[in-house]
Structure 1
């Protein structure tokens, strides 16, 4: 399994927090769930962090069965729809977002 993780680094503009959360959960999340081969979508809203770490205000993860599945999802019309929907939230935050793709391995405690 592979997980594509998006990090939103920076900060949500003051007074836009609620509108940002609503837009992500009601507009973007349904699109992300429709990406081809997406198996699970997770959102994380950080509440604390170590000193000297980048200010990350949202982490989004999508699980896929293979790297080929990710490539297909990224080339799909749904991905373009997600990009357009993302433009609607960009005015609500300052910063950047970037992605990492990781091979996922469960480690039981």
Structure 2
């Protein structure tokens, strides 16, 4: 599985937090869920961080079966529509967005959860 994450580094305008979240839920999430090949969409909102750590008020995480599926989604019309719609979100945000692509480990059998037998 391929995970693409968008890190929103910066700050949401004071007093705009609820509007920011509402815009994500009502405007952007339906577009992200319509991306071809999408397996999962998660939006993470920061609640705390280490002292001195960069500020990421939101992280968008999307999952695809392969790099090819991700490439298809990135070239799709709905992706370009969502990029245009994101301008409304950025009107409530000071900072920048950077993207990272990860390969989700397929062999999870070597990982153990503490306390689980």
- TM-score, length-scaled by structure 2: 0.89
Structure 1: gaps of 5 or more residues = none
- Give the 3 Å change call, closer, same or farther, for CA 55–71 of structure 1 in structure 2: same
RMSD: 0.9
Structure 2: gaps of 5 or more residues = none
Corresponding residue for 1:24? 24
Corresponding residue for 1:82? 82
Corresponding residue for 1:47? 47
Task: Say which one has the larger Rg.
Answer: 2
Q: Residues 1-49 of structure 1, C-alpha deviation per residue, up to 9 Å, x if partnerless?
A: 0100010010000111111110001110110011110000001101011
Aligned residues: 109
- TM-score, length-scaled by structure 1: 0.96
Q: Structure 1 residue runs of 4+, over 2 Å off?
A: none
